[in-house]
Structure 1
């Protein structure tokens, strides 16, 4: 069975976080100007976390199976981990503790009741994805908004493939393409910590790594991100620039699925653009259902 090497994940994540912190940032005295390591030394990280050097070294070599939550909290504080990084560290530890436990398979279908919820959202693009960025269900406005991505006949459509394997189209569509690319890789890394035995995720990461230099660079950074609220700026080929507020919500009854809803404040240019998008979507659907004229 394909799986992500947890020991390597832990080692690379902890060493990369340690390397970015200087002794000055950690509040440690610095003696002399020549340091052979970037960032903190292992013994300095151990001191800050309140554990022995041998214990910290074992952790950074990928052994988290016996590590308590208290020690993990101390390491997170010592390495100045943010919320997403702390969550990622704890997920890696949980996976290390239960290497032969039951595997959660991310959902690949959407319940009819959730399909009805999407259909009931008529004034905002709304769609459901999983942690691999598979687009599993959309309402009519989301299909219209993401029409450039949905031209690829492969199903389920996948945002990560669009961003990294169609960079010209994605770069035109996403105003903040560089940030979007970083976020997509970071959220896939987060999902890998939660689900290291997901064979489809492993295959996706392998495909992107093989075909995209940019993805390899972003993946190697070890950065992680949480799915959260934010701003998405896109340039739609039919209606132009849209600056949209994004709410990304976990669905507790369907673990692993996220509901994403895009809105714009009333009276803004982007709100007018969403109304225009709805009209464009209706015209596209009407054209698709009308019988072709006989020649």
Structure 2
């Protein structure tokens, strides 16, 4: 990914989202551009128009924290957008040859596997920054049974390229936009990740929806929230999810789904566990019959 293009498109997209009224600026005459003008952003950030123009053309290298904070305030960035801006600024000073070093093969530590597999009544999985699921317990595999039918198991590829995703996720558009936002964040952190670039290129080529959402330059970070599922065997469930980054495992995070006790979703998870157990028993019974 070209860092300068990423910087330029991100700053332009944030500038276009703010009206002069929101920024507390007077409006005179007909405006030919959406949102704020470059000069207005420069004034709000306390920098010259020439300097802001250079920044918006993609040259963030050398921008100080005070300048980045001023841009954050002028463009009314939220915490995720601010972190994204800082990541873009850090990448601007990275040597491409150094950044393109072959990445280490990611493995999930045995102790982490034990934690995931020990959550018998909660779907849990470990994913990397490209949205590949690297490890999952049986309940997570049952919850995302259609996702696990392909290799590699990648949630964004499933969301945009498998038509069954619109059924599994009743709120498909929100799920899709959040996934795209996560990839945007990761591109800023890993601008020379070839596998990440290949994934984005594949999705952009094969999915009109992805291409449109990617062009919005919105960013997202998974933390906590709720997600609705319409499982083919269990029906609808609204589950709470928690996503935690793993500091000792660069780029990895763990996601756990749960439901409040006594709710329909909790009953749904119990039914899901029973269905998962039956799915495991059927192949075993088939093998036994073949051996007999």
TM bucket normalised to smaller? over 0.9
Tell me the CA shift for residue 131 of structure 1. 1.5
Distance 1:217 1:73 in 2: 29
**CA offsets per residue over residues 74-123 of structure 1, 9 Å max, x none?**
00110011111111000000011223555684763211111111111111
Distance 2:256 2:105 in 1: 19
| Map 1:64-83 → 2, pairs under 5 A | 64-83=60-79
TM-score, length basis structure 1: 0.94
Pairing 1:89–2:85 present: yes
Structure 2 unaligned regions, length at least 5: none
TM-score, length basis structure 2: 0.95
| Map 1:157-176 → 2, pairs under 5 A | 157-166=153-162, 168-176=163-171
Pairing 1:255–2:255 present: no
SS for the counterpart of 2:77 is coil
Determine which of 13, 22, 25 is the counterpart of 1:25.
22
CA contact (8 A) 1:107 1:256 kept: no
RMSD of aligned Cα (Å): 1.4
CA contact (8 A) 1:244 1:262 kept: yes
Structure 1 unaligned regions, length at least 5: none
Determine which of 163, 173, 191 is the counterpart of 2:186.
191
**CA offsets per residue over residues 56-82 of structure 1, 9 Å max, x none?**
000000001110011000001100111
| Map 1:46-65 → 2, pairs under 5 A | 46-65=42-61
CA contact (8 A) 2:99 2:192 kept: no
Distance 1:281 1:293 in 2: 21
Structure-2 residue corresponding to 1:15:
12
CA contact (8 A) 1:107 1:257 kept: no
Tell me the CA shift for residue 238 of structure 1. 1.0
Structure-1 residue corresponding to 2:95:
99
Distance 1:67 1:53 in 2: 15
Tell me the CA shift for residue 293 of structure 1. 2.2
Structure 1 segments of 4+ aligned residues over 3 angstroms from their partners: 100-107
CA contact (8 A) 2:243 2:255 kept: yes
Distance 1:40 1:81 in 2: 14
Tell me the CA shift for residue 30 of structure 1. 1.3
CA contact (8 A) 1:107 1:254 kept: no
The alpha-carbon distance between structure 1 residues 282 and 263, as it changes in their structure 2 partners (threshold 3 A), is same
Pairing 1:129–2:127 present: yes
Pairing 1:271–2:266 present: yes
Tell me the CA shift for residue 255 of structure 1. 1.4
Structure-2 residue corresponding to 1:208:
203
**CA offsets per residue over residues 212-233 of structure 1, 9 Å max, x none?**
0000000000000011101010
Distance 1:271 1:11 in 2: 46
The alpha-carbon distance between structure 1 residues 127 and 107, as it changes in their structure 2 partners (threshold 3 A), is farther
CA contact (8 A) 1:144 1:277 kept: yes
Distance 2:104 2:200 in 1: 16
SS for the counterpart of 1:186 is helix
**CA offsets per residue over residues 2-52 of structure 1, 9 Å max, x none?**
xx10000000000111011111110111122x1111111101000000001
The alpha-carbon distance between structure 1 residues 227 and 74, as it changes in their structure 2 partners (threshold 3 A), is same
